[in-house]
Protein backbone atom coordinates (compact mmCIF):
# COMPACT_ATOMS: atom_id res chain seq x y z
CA UNK A 1 0.00 0.00 0.00
CA UNK A 2 2.88 2.38 0.65
CA UNK A 3 3.45 3.44 -3.01
CA UNK A 4 -0.27 4.25 -3.40
CA UNK A 5 -0.20 6.52 -0.37
CA UNK A 6 2.87 8.26 -1.77
CA UNK A 7 1.16 8.69 -5.13
CA UNK A 8 -1.97 10.13 -3.56
CA UNK A 9 -0.09 12.65 -1.48
CA UNK A 10 2.04 13.69 -4.45
CA UNK A 11 -0.94 14.05 -6.74
CA UNK A 12 -3.07 16.16 -4.41
CA UNK A 13 -2.79 19.80 -3.54
CA UNK A 14 -2.23 19.75 0.24
CA UNK A 15 -4.67 22.60 0.90
CA UNK A 16 -7.47 20.70 -0.87
CA UNK A 17 -6.69 17.29 0.54
CA UNK A 18 -5.93 15.74 3.88
CA UNK A 19 -3.80 17.74 6.29
CA UNK A 20 -0.22 16.61 5.75
CA UNK A 21 1.53 14.91 8.59
CA UNK A 22 5.29 14.71 8.98
CA UNK A 23 5.56 11.59 6.86
CA UNK A 24 3.45 13.23 4.16
CA UNK A 25 5.86 16.14 4.00
CA UNK A 26 8.73 13.64 3.92
CA UNK A 27 7.24 11.91 0.88
CA UNK A 28 6.87 15.24 -0.87
CA UNK A 29 10.46 16.01 0.01
CA UNK A 30 11.94 12.80 -1.37
CA UNK A 31 9.78 13.18 -4.46
CA UNK A 32 11.35 16.56 -5.12
CA UNK A 33 8.31 18.65 -4.27
CA UNK A 34 10.26 21.12 -2.16
CA UNK A 35 10.19 20.30 1.53
CA UNK A 36 12.89 22.59 2.83
CA UNK A 37 14.24 24.69 5.70
CA UNK A 38 13.74 28.42 5.30
CA UNK A 39 15.41 30.91 7.61
CA UNK A 40 14.25 34.48 7.83
CA UNK A 41 16.64 37.10 9.17
CA UNK A 42 14.62 39.94 10.64
CA UNK A 43 11.28 39.04 12.18
CA UNK A 44 9.79 42.48 11.60
CA UNK A 45 6.82 43.32 9.42
CA UNK A 46 8.05 41.75 6.17
CA UNK A 47 9.90 38.82 7.78
CA UNK A 48 7.12 37.70 10.11
CA UNK A 49 4.46 38.12 7.42
CA UNK A 50 6.56 36.03 5.01
CA UNK A 51 6.85 33.34 7.68
CA UNK A 52 3.10 33.27 8.14
CA UNK A 53 2.39 33.05 4.40
CA UNK A 54 4.95 30.25 4.11
CA UNK A 55 3.17 28.39 6.90
CA UNK A 56 -0.23 28.84 5.25
CA UNK A 57 1.09 27.66 1.90
CA UNK A 58 3.05 24.77 3.48
CA UNK A 59 6.08 25.45 1.37
CA UNK A 60 8.74 24.60 3.95
CA UNK A 61 8.90 21.90 6.59
CA UNK A 62 10.95 24.09 8.94
CA UNK A 63 11.03 27.87 9.37
CA UNK A 64 13.41 29.75 11.64
CA UNK A 65 13.12 33.48 12.32
CA UNK A 66 16.22 35.24 13.66
CA UNK A 67 16.19 38.77 15.02
CA UNK A 68 18.22 40.90 17.38
CA UNK A 69 14.96 41.29 19.27
CA UNK A 70 13.33 38.50 21.30
CA UNK A 71 10.09 39.50 19.59
CA UNK A 72 11.08 36.80 17.05
CA UNK A 73 10.54 34.16 19.75
CA UNK A 74 7.15 35.56 20.71
CA UNK A 75 5.97 35.82 17.10
CA UNK A 76 7.04 32.24 16.39
CA UNK A 77 5.13 31.00 19.46
CA UNK A 78 2.09 32.95 18.33
CA UNK A 79 2.26 31.40 14.83
CA UNK A 80 2.88 27.92 16.25
CA UNK A 81 -0.50 28.07 17.97
CA UNK A 82 -2.15 28.53 14.55
CA UNK A 83 -0.93 25.07 13.47
CA UNK A 84 -4.06 23.10 14.42
CA UNK A 85 -6.34 25.83 13.03
CA UNK A 86 -4.84 26.62 9.61
CA UNK A 87 -3.69 23.72 9.75
CA UNK A 88 0.02 23.07 9.10
CA UNK A 89 2.78 20.75 10.33
CA UNK A 90 5.70 23.07 9.65
CA UNK A 91 8.02 23.68 12.59
CA UNK A 92 8.32 27.40 13.33
CA UNK A 93 10.85 28.80 15.78
CA UNK A 94 12.14 32.23 16.69
CA UNK A 95 15.58 32.94 18.09
CA UNK A 96 18.27 35.57 18.61
CA UNK A 97 20.95 32.93 18.00
CA UNK A 98 22.21 32.70 14.43
CA UNK A 99 23.18 29.04 14.80
CA UNK A 100 19.45 28.41 14.34
CA UNK A 101 19.86 28.97 10.59
CA UNK A 102 22.27 26.03 10.29
CA UNK A 103 21.88 24.11 7.01
CA UNK A 104 19.05 26.26 5.67
CA UNK A 105 18.10 25.74 2.04
CA UNK A 106 16.91 29.33 1.62
CA UNK A 107 17.71 32.40 3.72
CA UNK A 108 15.48 35.44 3.37
CA UNK A 109 17.09 38.68 4.57
CA UNK A 110 14.56 41.23 5.77
CA UNK A 111 16.70 42.69 8.56
CA UNK A 112 17.17 46.40 8.41
CA UNK A 113 15.56 49.75 8.77
CA UNK A 114 12.40 50.49 6.81
CA UNK A 115 11.47 53.81 5.22
CA UNK A 116 9.62 56.51 7.12
CA UNK A 117 7.66 59.32 5.45
CA UNK A 118 10.02 61.66 3.62
CA UNK A 119 12.81 59.06 3.36
CA UNK A 120 14.02 57.59 0.09
CA UNK A 121 15.19 53.98 -0.14
CA UNK A 122 18.73 55.40 -0.59
CA UNK A 123 18.57 57.12 2.80
CA UNK A 124 18.76 53.66 4.32
CA UNK A 125 22.00 52.75 2.54
CA UNK A 126 24.75 53.04 5.16
CA UNK A 127 22.84 51.65 8.16
CA UNK A 128 21.47 48.71 6.24
CA UNK A 129 24.84 48.00 4.60
CA UNK A 130 26.31 47.37 8.05
CA UNK A 131 23.42 45.05 8.92
CA UNK A 132 23.80 43.14 5.64
CA UNK A 133 27.54 42.74 6.26
CA UNK A 134 27.05 41.16 9.69
CA UNK A 135 24.11 38.99 8.57
CA UNK A 136 26.07 37.76 5.52
CA UNK A 137 28.95 36.62 7.70
CA UNK A 138 26.55 34.53 9.76
CA UNK A 139 25.00 33.02 6.65
CA UNK A 140 28.46 32.10 5.39
CA UNK A 141 29.23 30.51 8.74
CA UNK A 142 26.04 28.51 9.27
CA UNK A 143 24.31 28.11 5.92
CA UNK A 144 27.07 28.10 3.33
CA UNK A 145 25.02 26.13 0.78
CA UNK A 146 21.89 28.25 1.03
CA UNK A 147 20.18 30.38 -1.58
CA UNK A 148 19.92 33.97 -0.33
CA UNK A 149 17.05 36.32 -1.14
CA UNK A 150 17.52 39.93 -0.05
CA UNK A 151 14.55 42.18 0.70
CA UNK A 152 16.34 44.94 2.63
CA UNK A 153 16.47 48.35 0.91
CA UNK A 154 17.97 49.94 -1.05
CA UNK A 155 17.34 46.63 -2.72
CA UNK A 156 19.76 46.28 -5.62
CA UNK A 157 22.62 47.74 -3.61
CA UNK A 158 21.93 45.45 -0.63
CA UNK A 159 21.72 42.41 -2.92
CA UNK A 160 25.14 43.36 -4.28
CA UNK A 161 26.47 43.78 -0.71
CA UNK A 162 25.11 40.36 0.33
CA UNK A 163 26.69 38.75 -2.76
CA UNK A 164 30.07 40.34 -1.97
CA UNK A 165 29.94 39.62 1.77
CA UNK A 166 28.79 36.00 1.50
CA UNK A 167 31.16 35.23 -1.39
CA UNK A 168 28.43 32.95 -2.78
CA UNK A 169 28.13 32.32 -6.53
CA UNK A 170 25.86 34.80 -8.32
CA UNK A 171 23.30 32.03 -8.90
CA UNK A 172 22.65 31.86 -5.13
CA UNK A 173 22.14 35.54 -4.28
CA UNK A 174 19.22 37.60 -5.53
CA UNK A 175 17.00 40.49 -4.52
CA UNK A 176 13.22 40.72 -4.32
CA UNK A 177 11.65 43.75 -5.98
CA UNK A 178 10.47 42.95 -9.50
CA UNK A 179 7.90 40.42 -8.32
CA UNK A 180 6.43 43.09 -6.04
CA UNK A 181 6.53 45.89 -8.62
CA UNK A 182 4.92 43.56 -11.18
CA UNK A 183 2.23 42.48 -8.71
CA UNK A 184 1.38 46.10 -7.95
CA UNK A 185 1.04 46.95 -11.64
CA UNK A 186 -1.01 43.79 -12.28
CA UNK A 187 -3.31 44.59 -9.36
CA UNK A 188 -3.85 48.19 -10.52
CA UNK A 189 -4.62 47.03 -14.08
CA UNK A 190 -7.06 44.39 -12.78
CA UNK A 191 -8.86 46.99 -10.66
CA UNK A 192 -9.05 49.40 -13.61
CA UNK A 193 -10.44 46.78 -16.00
CA UNK A 194 -12.46 44.93 -13.33
CA UNK A 195 -10.91 41.59 -14.19
CA UNK A 196 -9.42 38.87 -12.03
CA UNK A 197 -5.89 39.90 -10.93
CA UNK A 198 -4.67 36.42 -11.84
CA UNK A 199 -5.62 37.00 -15.47
CA UNK A 200 -3.20 39.93 -15.75
CA UNK A 201 0.36 38.91 -16.66
CA UNK A 202 3.28 41.25 -16.83
CA UNK A 203 6.73 42.06 -15.64
CA UNK A 204 8.54 45.07 -14.24
CA UNK A 205 12.30 45.08 -14.72
CA UNK A 206 15.11 47.41 -13.69
CA UNK A 207 16.14 48.84 -10.37
CA UNK A 208 13.71 48.95 -7.43
CA UNK A 209 12.89 52.62 -7.30
CA UNK A 210 11.73 55.50 -9.40
CA UNK A 211 13.58 54.14 -12.45
CA UNK A 212 11.79 50.75 -12.51
CA UNK A 213 10.92 49.62 -16.05
CA UNK A 214 7.40 48.29 -16.72
CA UNK A 215 6.89 46.51 -20.04
CA UNK A 216 3.41 47.60 -21.24
CA UNK A 217 3.87 45.88 -24.61
CA UNK A 218 4.35 42.55 -22.81
CA UNK A 219 1.60 43.09 -20.21
CA UNK A 220 -1.53 41.13 -21.05
CA UNK A 221 -5.04 40.40 -19.79
CA UNK A 222 -6.12 36.88 -20.72
CA UNK A 223 -3.43 36.97 -23.38
CA UNK A 224 -4.47 40.34 -24.86
CA UNK A 225 -1.88 43.19 -24.65
CA UNK A 226 -3.06 46.03 -22.40
CA UNK A 227 -2.06 48.42 -25.17
CA UNK A 228 -5.23 47.17 -26.92
CA UNK A 229 -7.40 47.54 -23.79
CA UNK A 230 -6.34 50.84 -22.24
CA UNK A 231 -5.41 54.27 -23.61
CA UNK A 232 -1.76 55.37 -23.53
CA UNK A 233 -2.68 58.00 -20.90
CA UNK A 234 -4.34 55.42 -18.65
CA UNK A 235 -1.39 53.03 -18.96
CA UNK A 236 1.03 55.85 -18.11
CA UNK A 237 -1.06 56.76 -15.05
CA UNK A 238 -1.08 53.13 -13.82
CA UNK A 239 2.68 52.87 -14.35
CA UNK A 240 3.21 56.10 -12.43
CA UNK A 241 1.08 54.79 -9.58
CA UNK A 242 3.14 51.56 -9.57
CA UNK A 243 6.37 53.53 -9.41
CA UNK A 244 5.03 55.48 -6.41
CA UNK A 245 3.12 52.62 -4.78
CA UNK A 246 5.66 52.08 -1.98
CA UNK A 247 5.66 55.78 -1.11
CA UNK A 248 1.86 55.98 -1.26
CA UNK A 249 1.66 53.23 1.38
CA UNK A 250 4.43 54.74 3.56
CA UNK A 251 2.48 58.01 3.67
CA UNK A 252 -0.56 56.22 5.10
CA UNK A 253 1.31 53.89 7.48
CA UNK A 254 3.53 56.69 8.83
CA UNK A 255 5.62 54.33 11.00
CA UNK A 256 6.96 51.91 8.41
CA UNK A 257 6.60 50.64 4.86
CA UNK A 258 4.55 48.04 2.97
CA UNK A 259 4.83 44.46 4.12
CA UNK A 260 1.94 42.22 3.03
CA UNK A 261 2.76 42.42 -0.68
CA UNK A 262 6.56 42.40 -0.19
CA UNK A 263 6.21 39.28 1.96
CA UNK A 264 3.94 37.56 -0.57
CA UNK A 265 6.42 38.44 -3.32
CA UNK A 266 9.34 36.94 -1.41
CA UNK A 267 7.28 33.80 -0.80
CA UNK A 268 6.58 33.50 -4.55
CA UNK A 269 10.34 33.40 -5.12
CA UNK A 270 10.90 30.87 -2.32
CA UNK A 271 8.12 28.69 -3.75
CA UNK A 272 9.67 28.72 -7.24
CA UNK A 273 12.98 27.57 -5.72
CA UNK A 274 11.51 25.04 -3.28
CA UNK A 275 9.34 23.43 -5.93
CA UNK A 276 12.01 23.69 -8.63
CA UNK A 277 9.42 25.39 -10.81
CA UNK A 278 11.85 26.90 -13.36
CA UNK A 279 9.52 29.89 -13.26
CA UNK A 280 10.56 33.15 -14.88
CA UNK A 281 10.31 35.87 -12.25
CA UNK A 282 11.78 39.35 -12.33
CA UNK A 283 14.56 39.31 -9.71
CA UNK A 284 17.48 41.55 -8.89
CA UNK A 285 20.39 39.51 -10.25
CA UNK A 286 24.04 40.12 -11.00
CA UNK A 287 24.34 41.03 -14.67
CA UNK A 288 27.41 40.01 -16.61
CA UNK A 289 26.63 41.02 -20.17
CA UNK A 290 22.91 40.14 -20.22
CA UNK A 291 20.87 42.94 -21.82
CA UNK A 292 24.19 44.74 -22.32
CA UNK A 293 24.50 45.33 -18.54
CA UNK A 294 27.57 44.60 -16.47
CA UNK A 295 28.77 44.60 -12.86
CA UNK A 296 25.44 45.54 -11.34
CA UNK A 297 22.51 43.96 -9.50
CA UNK A 298 19.35 44.92 -11.35
CA UNK A 299 15.90 43.46 -12.03
CA UNK A 300 15.97 41.00 -14.94
CA UNK A 301 13.79 37.98 -15.82
CA UNK A 302 15.37 35.05 -13.98
CA UNK A 303 14.54 31.36 -14.23
CA UNK A 304 14.18 30.22 -10.61
CA UNK A 305 14.63 26.60 -9.61
CA UNK A 306 16.25 24.47 -6.94
CA UNK A 307 19.72 25.78 -7.86
CA UNK A 308 18.62 29.39 -7.45
CA UNK A 309 18.99 31.57 -10.56
CA UNK A 310 19.33 28.90 -13.20
CA UNK A 311 19.35 31.29 -16.15
CA UNK A 312 18.61 34.87 -17.08
CA UNK A 313 15.93 34.81 -19.77
CA UNK A 314 16.49 37.04 -22.78
CA UNK A 315 13.21 38.74 -23.69
CA UNK A 316 13.18 40.89 -26.84
CA UNK A 317 12.80 44.51 -25.71
CA UNK A 318 11.98 47.60 -27.72
CA UNK A 319 14.87 50.11 -28.12
CA UNK A 320 12.88 52.51 -25.87
CA UNK A 321 12.57 49.91 -23.08
CA UNK A 322 16.23 48.92 -23.45
CA UNK A 323 17.24 52.54 -22.95
CA UNK A 324 15.08 52.76 -19.80
CA UNK A 325 16.67 49.55 -18.48
CA UNK A 326 20.16 50.97 -19.03
CA UNK A 327 19.18 54.15 -17.21
CA UNK A 328 17.77 52.09 -14.34
CA UNK A 329 20.93 49.94 -14.09
CA UNK A 330 22.97 53.13 -14.00
CA UNK A 331 20.97 54.30 -10.97
CA UNK A 332 21.67 50.99 -9.18
CA UNK A 333 25.36 51.25 -10.08
CA UNK A 334 25.53 54.70 -8.49
CA UNK A 335 24.36 53.16 -5.20
CA UNK A 336 26.82 50.27 -5.47
CA UNK A 337 29.67 52.76 -5.97
CA UNK A 338 28.82 54.28 -2.58
CA UNK A 339 29.49 50.95 -0.87
CA UNK A 340 32.85 50.34 0.65
CA UNK A 341 32.67 46.54 0.37
N1 LIG B 1 12.56 44.98 -1.62
C2 LIG B 1 11.35 45.44 -1.38
O3 LIG B 1 10.52 45.52 -2.28
C4 LIG B 1 10.97 45.85 0.01
C5 LIG B 1 9.63 45.98 0.38
C6 LIG B 1 9.33 46.30 1.70
C7 LIG B 1 10.34 46.51 2.62
N8 LIG B 1 11.64 46.41 2.21
C9 LIG B 1 12.75 46.60 3.16
O10 LIG B 1 12.82 45.47 4.01
C11 LIG B 1 13.41 45.83 5.25
C12 LIG B 1 12.53 45.34 6.40
O13 LIG B 1 11.29 46.03 6.37
P14 LIG B 1 10.22 45.78 7.55
O15 LIG B 1 9.03 46.56 7.21
O16 LIG B 1 10.11 44.34 7.85
O17 LIG B 1 11.00 46.49 8.76
P18 LIG B 1 10.80 46.19 10.33
O19 LIG B 1 11.43 47.34 11.04
O20 LIG B 1 9.41 45.84 10.63
O21 LIG B 1 11.69 44.87 10.56
C22 LIG B 1 13.08 44.85 10.49
C23 LIG B 1 13.59 43.86 11.52
O24 LIG B 1 14.99 43.69 11.33
C25 LIG B 1 15.52 43.46 12.64
N26 LIG B 1 16.98 43.63 12.62
C27 LIG B 1 17.69 44.77 12.55
N28 LIG B 1 19.01 44.47 12.54
C29 LIG B 1 19.12 43.11 12.59
C30 LIG B 1 20.21 42.19 12.59
N31 LIG B 1 21.48 42.61 12.54
N32 LIG B 1 19.93 40.87 12.65
C33 LIG B 1 18.66 40.43 12.71
N34 LIG B 1 17.58 41.26 12.71
C35 LIG B 1 17.82 42.57 12.64
C36 LIG B 1 14.77 44.44 13.52
O37 LIG B 1 14.86 44.12 14.89
C38 LIG B 1 13.36 44.32 12.97
O39 LIG B 1 12.62 43.33 13.66
C40 LIG B 1 13.60 47.35 5.17
O41 LIG B 1 14.93 47.65 4.76
C42 LIG B 1 12.62 47.77 4.09
O43 LIG B 1 12.98 48.99 3.48
C44 LIG B 1 11.96 46.08 0.94
| 114 Cβ inside 6 Å of ligand 1 | yes
> Which residue out of 24, 208, 243, 312 is catalytically annotated?
208
DSSP type of residue 19: P
Task: Specify whether the CB–CB gap between 235 and 193 falls below 8 A.
Answer: no
Rounded to whole angstroms, how far apart are CA atoms 120 and 116?
8
For ligand 1, atom 12, name the residue with the nearest CA.
Answer: 110
Q: State how far the alpha carbon of 63 is from the alpha carbons of 40, 70, 179, in Å.
A: 8, 16, 22
For residue 296, the cross-strand partners are: 287
Walk along the chain (341 residues) and give the pLDDT tens digit of each residue.
333 223 222 223 333 333 333 333 333 232 234 469 999 999 999 999 999 999 999 999 999 999 999 999 999 999 999 999 999 999 999 999 999 999 999 999 999 987 777 877 778 898 899 999 999 999 999 999 999 999 999 999 999 999 999 999 999 999 999 999 999 999 999 999 999 999 999 999 999 888 999 998 889 999 999 999 999 999 999 999 999 999 999 999 999 899 999 999 999 999 999 999 999 999 999 999 999 999 999 999 999 999 999 999 999 999 999 999 999 999 999 999 988 65
| 153 Cβ inside 6 Å of ligand 1 | yes
Rounded to whole angstroms, how far apart are CA atoms 235 and 247?
19
| 68 Cβ inside 6 Å of ligand 1 | yes
Structural domains present in the chain: 4-175 (3.40.50.720), 178-336 (3.90.110.10)
Task: Specify whether the CB–CB gap between 211 and 331 falls below 8 A.
Answer: yes
**Annotation marks residue 29 as catalytic:** no
| 300 Cβ inside 6 Å of ligand 1 | no
pTM confidence score = 0.90
Length of the chain: 341
Amino acid sequence: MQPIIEFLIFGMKPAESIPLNKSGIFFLHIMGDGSIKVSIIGAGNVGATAAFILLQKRIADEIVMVDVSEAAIGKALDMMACAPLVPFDTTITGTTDYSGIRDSSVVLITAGLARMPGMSREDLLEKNRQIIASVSQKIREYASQSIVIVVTNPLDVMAYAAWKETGFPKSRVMGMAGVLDSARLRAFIAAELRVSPGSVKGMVLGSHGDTMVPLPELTTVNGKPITQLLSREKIDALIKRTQNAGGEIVNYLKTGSAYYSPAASAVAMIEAIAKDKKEILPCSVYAEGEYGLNGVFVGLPAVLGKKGIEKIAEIPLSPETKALLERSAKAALEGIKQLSC
